[in-house]
Chains A and B, each alone.
Chain A
Amino acid sequence: MPEPPARARLLSPATKDPVMTGTTQQQVFEIIAKQAKVDVANVKPESTLKDLGIASLEAIELIFDIEEHFDIHFPEQQGANFDSDTAQSLVDAVQKGLDEKAAGGEGDK
């Protein structure tokens, strides 16, 4: 079987990558840091994506990466930019998605 692309390998929930086995917050912060190309130490709960230099399509890409990693789906967020979201609000959204999934929701669709 051919090697999966690097991104899929990194983001697979089954990954052995040690950075991807911490708490939900650590995992989200790692994904944000990777997209922002900054050290994870620079990602604070109150940092907005904009603070971290993630705007427009990059923010959409980040949301996709997080969804793929946790196998969840963020609700549509019409009328707002993800750019103003904080790192912590993404962690909260992930936790909500994981809770819904555990409760037997319809899952990613």
Chain B
Amino acid sequence: MPTIETRRVVITGMGAVSPQGVGAEALWQGLREGRSAIGPLRHKDGDALRVKVAAQVPDSFDPATGIDERTLPLLDRTSEFALHAAREAIAHSGIDFARDGLGQRTAVVVGTGVGGELTQDEQSRRLYAEKATRTHPLTIVRLMTNASASHISIAWGLRGPTYAVASACASANHAIIQAAQMIRYGMTDVAVTGGTEACLSYGALRAWEAMRVLSDDTCRPFSANRRGLVLGEGAAIFVLESLEHARARGATILAELAGTGMSADASDIVMPSAEGAASAMRQALEEAGLNPGDVDYINAHGTGTQANDSTETRAIRLAFGEHADKLAVSSTKSMHGHALGASGALELVAAIGALSENVVPPTANLDKPDPACDLDYVPNTAREMPVRAVLSNSFAFGGLNAVLALKRAP
């Protein structure tokens, strides 16, 4: 097989809208301070629902700020989140897409689990409950899964490969990996990527209730008294570039996206497999040229369900061997909830924060050790420690695994 020349990929901008507030800095500071944004569910049908808690973007988020009034009616909440996060990321990177026709070649890949869930729900209610015979004429353009990617492309004139990636709870990581691979293999120099989700519709909440995986109080990853996951929402978007491109324009590099790993369990539709997850982690280490001993922190998938947390613990032991006991592992879902297709993106903000400030965000609500979860999960309080390299895990229903390996900015 011929050797393919590959390029290094770096992250030069980030933006977020999350339950911790608007902005990547608000998210990182919340996580660093160990503050959980999980609270009582605010929902117009809340009285009827059994689910009582969620991690929601605060009402202070104003989708209209800075968005063209002709664009606003086109947007589902997923696209609102994504556009705001993209604007912050692009400004943060200092990149100028108009210069030298850069926008012509720039890719946009955005992960989302289901796309315009709220639009779908609202229009279905009109049809089935209110017996309307028409849906809103913009229903299709609002709910289509690719809407977020398309709106980012339109807003900044980005004409490279643009599409959505969907793999349930791993969507954001798969999208970021796709964008990174395009840069690594020379298809493009720059990509805008991340994940977005706005999934707290009545129908979706009912569906999650029926699955019996939701916690009724809070999210307690790796704790023996964990009672399930807590749904979240939000978006995080990043600007990825080849190292040469970032250096040539004098960009500030936040971190190197050094390696990626993807695998499928090919077993159960919901029960995770330690082997599948470990395989994705090993691939990410290998592509990054990292030995297990080079990694200091893992941002875990850590949903707070019985099955995930013990299986992920076993997977980390499989992939890291003896070094597993020296790792700091934390689940920031304890603080930003599980934003499904956006989770990996929100967690990448945490991974970048850890690398740049040498602080590992904690696992909140971990108050009862579980013998089946026997790693160092940095309970409740952030830890200052040298962080040389980080893995960020995302594992999806359907048995799909996607792992990012990050190094400090070169």
Residues of A bordering B, CB below 8 Å: 56-57, 60, 63-64, 73, 76-81, 109
Nearest CB on A from B57, distance (A): 26
Nearest CB on A from B293, distance (A): 35
Partner of A76, one of B212, B226, B270, B271: B212
Nearest CB on B from A6, distance (A): 20
Q: Which of A56, A73, A77, A79 has the most CB of B within 10 A?
A: A79
* Contact across chains for B212 and A60 when beta carbons are under 8 A apart: yes
Total A-B pairs in contact (CB under 8 Å)? Answer: 31
Q: Which residue of the partner chain B has the closest CB to A63?
A: B212
| Interface residues of B, dominant DSSP | loop
Given contacts A109-B48, A109-B50, contact A77 B212 (CB under 8 A): yes
Q: Which residue of the partner chain A has the closest CB to B225?
A: A79
By a CB distance below 8 angstroms, the chain B residues around A109 are: 48-50
* Contact across chains for B306 and A56 when beta carbons are under 8 A apart: no
* Contact across chains for B227 and A78 when beta carbons are under 8 A apart: yes
Q: How far is the CA of A81 from the CA of B228 in the complex (A)?
A: 12
Partner of B306, one of A64, A73, A76, A81: A81
Nearest CB on B from A38, distance (A): 21
Given contacts A79-B226, A79-B227, contact A56 B210 (CB under 8 A): no
| Interface residues of A, dominant DSSP | loop
By a CB distance below 8 angstroms, the chain A residues around B214 are: 76
* Contact across chains for A78 and B48 when beta carbons are under 8 A apart: no
By a CB distance below 8 angstroms, the chain A residues around B48 are: 109
- Top-3 shortest CB links A-B: A78-B227, A56-B271, A78-B228
10 contacts between A and B (CB under 8 A): A56-B271, A57-B269, A60-B210, A78-B216, A78-B226, A78-B227, A78-B228, A79-B306, A80-B306, A81-B306
Nearest CB on B from A1, distance (A): 16
Q: Which residue of the partner chain B has the closest CB to A73?
A: B50
Q: At the interface, yes or no: B211 with Cβ under 8 Å from chain A?
A: yes
Q: At the interface, yes or no: B79 with Cβ under 8 Å from chain A?
A: no
Q: Which residue of the partner chain A has the closest CB to B306?
A: A79
Q: Which residue of the partner chain B has the closest CB to A81?
A: B306
Q: At the interface, yes or no: B268 with Cβ under 8 Å from chain A?
A: yes
Partner of A78, one of B50, B215, B269, B270: B215
Q: How far is the CA of A16 from the CA of B157 in the complex (A)?
A: 64
Could you mark each residue 199-227 of chain B with 1 if its beta carbon is under 8 Å from any beta carbon of chain A, else 0? 00000000000111011100000000111
Which residues of chain B from 123 to 179 have any CB-CB distance to chain A below 8 Å in the complex? none
Nearest CB on A from B229, distance (A): 11
Nearest CB on A from B371, distance (A): 14
Q: Which residue of the partner chain A has the closest CB to B226?
A: A79
